[in-house]
Amino acid sequence: MAKKKENVPAKAVESLFNKVSNLIEQARVRVATAMNVAEVYTKYQIGRYIVEEEQSGNKRAEYGKQVLEGLSERLTARYGDGWSYSNLRQVRQFFLVYGNLTISDCQISNPPDFTLSWTHYLVLMRIKNADERRFYEIEATSGNWSVRELQRQYGSSLYERLALSRDKEQVARLSRVGNVVEKPEDIIKNPVTLEFVGLKPDASYSESNLESAIIGKLQEFLLELGKGFLFEARQKRFSFDEDDYYVDLVLYNRLLQCYVLVDLKVDKLTHQDLGQMQMYVNYYDRYVKQDFEKPTIGILLCKEKKDTLVKLTLPEDANIYASAYELYLPDKKLLQAKVKEWVNEFESTNATRTVNSFSQSPIF
């Protein structure tokens, strides 16, 4: 008599399946990442060989073109598409950019540590400013940005907007370590770019329309705000003295370990708006915040802000910030010029201080 087959518990199968499935997915991600990095290192070395060959040629420009055309034909014949003359020129340029070289350099450096895909580096190579390029490379790596997200952040001038929102001494830090979130000021951008919500800048819309548009593009909104943001609620109600109050958006930043309250204003900022946000922040600090959490941050996103009004209305230690928002991508060249002016002014001030300090030093 055949032995009756026991029924396998569905929960046991489901649990084991999830564990094995997660392991396979993680392995696939590691393999894909390894393949992407291997491709980048390979193309870096190919670019190195091309530059070394060009350096040995007499008529460099014409010689280099003929060599690349011939190399393209041979590689395409053996390995298929992907080795066109224009692609090899990109590979050559990649080595010149990331090897910190010019065509006349004789010394070839060791390759840097590559962390992104080749398609990411095709975007990064177009950024001429080395500090800005390094910033986007760090942020794309730490934030696990897709190529599309990298293009969007560069197109929205993230580097310039952060630089103009920082103390001048912190601008250079962006290119060394990226945007490190350690204090409330580190999450502030001016302006906040909301082109993805789909509202037309010249059209009439209400705060409710803006809020609904943001909720509809919540992932993009949180990415625009920066690192560590989590969404908790919209139109969050709290009550005291028999009155109800509503916060437009309640977020939490896990890096700062604090609540972030956002109020949306479609008109220019007023002192009443600031006073209302102060009340919201006070309520959360006194009745919602846990002992281990940091003080609540208030952000007013407004069509037009006035820094002087904020300083006069709020105490110096207020954890409340006003940021303008725009429904279109900013003028990158204009922002770049502002950052350059900002940095030059800072460097000029430092140089003057150094000279004055030296001239006042006693001579022995």
Placement of tokens 């060989």 in the chain: 49
- Average pLDDT on 177-185 reads 83
pLDDT at 358 over 50: no
pLDDT tier at 2, thresholds 50, 70, 90: low
CATH number of the structural domain 192-329: 3.40.1350.10
Q: Largest alpha-carbon pair distance within the chain?
A: 109
The overall pTM is greater than 0.75: no
68 burial (CB, 10 Å; 0-12 / 13-18 / 19+) is buried
Residue 247: name the closest of 216, 280, 208 by CA. Answer: 280
pLDDT at 203 over 50: yes
Residue 40: name the closest of 115, 132, 123 by CA. Answer: 115
Query: How much helix, strand and coil, in percent to the nearest 5, is found in the chain?
Result: 55, 15, 30
pLDDT tier at 331, thresholds 50, 70, 90: confident
The DSSP letter of residue 111 is P
Average pLDDT over the chain reads: 82
- Average pLDDT on 234-257 reads 90
pLDDT on residue 356: 52
Domain definitions of the chain by residue range: 21-104, 115-182+330-350, 192-329
Q: Are 95 and 118 in contact (CB under 8 A)?
A: no
Q: Residue 22 is which amino acid?
A: N
Residue 333: name the closest of 196, 129, 180, 82 by CA. Answer: 129
pLDDT at 109 over 80: no
Contacts of 134 by beta carbon, 8 Å cutoff, 6+ apart: 175, 176
pLDDT tier at 52, thresholds 50, 70, 90: confident
What b/e string do you get for 16-35 counting C-beta neighbours within 10 Å, with b at 16 or more?
A: eeeeeeeeeeeeeeeeeeee
Helix (H) or strand (E) holding 253: strand 243-253
pLDDT in tens, 112-142: 788 899 999 999 999 988 889 999 999 999 8
